[in-house]
Amino acid sequence: MKRFLILLVSVFMMLQGNRLLAESNGGYAGAFMRLGLGARHLALGNSSVAAPVDAFSFYYNPALSAFHEKRMFTLSHRFMSLDRRFDFIGFASKIPPGAGFSLGWIHSGVGDIQGYNMIGEQTGTIDHNLNAIYFNFARVFAGKFAVGLTIKHMREDLNFGADSYNASGWGWDFGAAYRFNQKLTVAASLRDVGSKLTANTEKLFEFGGTTVFTFPKIWSVGATYLTPLPWLRVNYAFVGTEHENGQHLGLEATYRNILALRFGYNKDQLTFGAGMGFKLWKFFTTLDYAFVPSVVDEGASHVFSWQFYLN
């Protein structure tokens, strides 16, 4: 009974936490993987299915990695309310003469949740962790058309004292992009194909078994356009799932490679951010910031990303 109550309360908190984490489809499995990734792309309203490539591009469209011109190492941290965590570390590189790849690790979770039994006694703390590891490869053909694939492994862990619950699974992302020229690119992606978490509760319950949590598939189409004003770029994406869909728009104004101001429309939210580029030791780096407003009064998020261009 104690194990059942702790697990029931914990799963409820997990679902509530995922609802707060996710900007859409929050009541379904894998919400932490639908937040968006990278301060630049979040500031642009998650409109980056065709955006110029960086170390976060594989998340929005696996095909974009084919356009890598440099090696990049990146870190990202999202300051969130309610003691939640969301971090990313990644590496991306070109593979001459016409390919590229990306590696990445997302970690999300919340810890030190106080647990109680049915008579109000403290039973210790509960920790909830979610992890996803990505591998992405993309190839360009004729210098214009690119296709890409991302394989990802996900794992969820819920620890409460001597007991624990865990689930794991795999998923696939596919993408395509066509670069007409340096100003215009159109693209499409299909994410979370077959993505699911499979849990076995036989060690927790006498009549435990196997449960499968399936992620909603996400499809995106969009474009990026460098306007006649050479300092202004516009992104557009239409993103949908079997449960809902919405439009995403991003505007990015840049001054050389030094400063950038960004504004976005993320379905029904307005986002904004900024970035700056500078040289650190022998590397050129970019430091980006994004403000993401509250979804359901849980508090706004502040996202920082730092990219290092290695050559």
Q: What mean pLDDT do residues 3-10 have?
A: 41
* Closest to 251 in 3D by CA, of 269, 241, 236, 230: 236
* Tens-digit pLDDT profile for residues 224-275: 999 999 999 999 999 999 888 999 999 999 998 899 999 999 988 999 999 9
Taken in order 11, 15, 20, 22, the sign of the CA dihedral is positive
Q: What mean pLDDT do residues 205-218 have?
A: 81
Average pLDDT value for the chain: 87
8 Å CB contact between 267 and 65:
no
* Tens-digit pLDDT profile for residues 33-53: 898 999 999 999 999 999 999
Confidence category of residue 119, pLDDT binned at 50, 70, 90: confident
Domain range for 188 is 2-309
4 phi, psi to nearest 5 deg: -65, -45
The pLDDT of residue 67 is 96
Q: What mean pLDDT do residues 118-135 have?
A: 85
- If DSSP codes are grouped into helix, strand and coil, which group holds residue 32? helix
Q: What mean pLDDT do residues 145-168 have?
A: 88
State how beta strands 184-193 and 196-200 pair. unpaired
State how beta strands 122-141 and 145-160 pair. antiparallel
Q: Which residue type sits at 277?
A: G
Confidence category of residue 3, pLDDT binned at 50, 70, 90: very low
Domain of 166: which CATH number?
2.40.160.60
The pLDDT of residue 8 is 39
C-alpha angle 66-68-71 in degrees, rounded to nearest 5: 135
Q: Which residue has the higher pLDDT, 90 or 2?
A: 90
The pLDDT of residue 110 is 86
The pLDDT of residue 206 is 58
Q: What mean pLDDT do residues 12-37 have?
A: 61
What's the number of domains the chain is made of?
1
pTM to 2 decimal places: 0.86
Going by C-beta distance under 8 Å and a sequence separation of 6 or more, which residues neighbour residue 32?
Answer: 18, 21, 22, 86, 106, 108, 130, 132
For the chain, how big is the Rg over CA atoms in Å? 20
Q: Which residue type sits at 217?
A: K
Question: Is residue 20's pLDDT more than 80?
Answer: no
Kindly provide the b/e burial profile for residues 212-233, where b requires at least 16 CB atoms within 10 angstroms of the residue's own CB: ebbbbbbbbbbbbbbeeeeeeb
Confidence category of residue 82, pLDDT binned at 50, 70, 90: confident
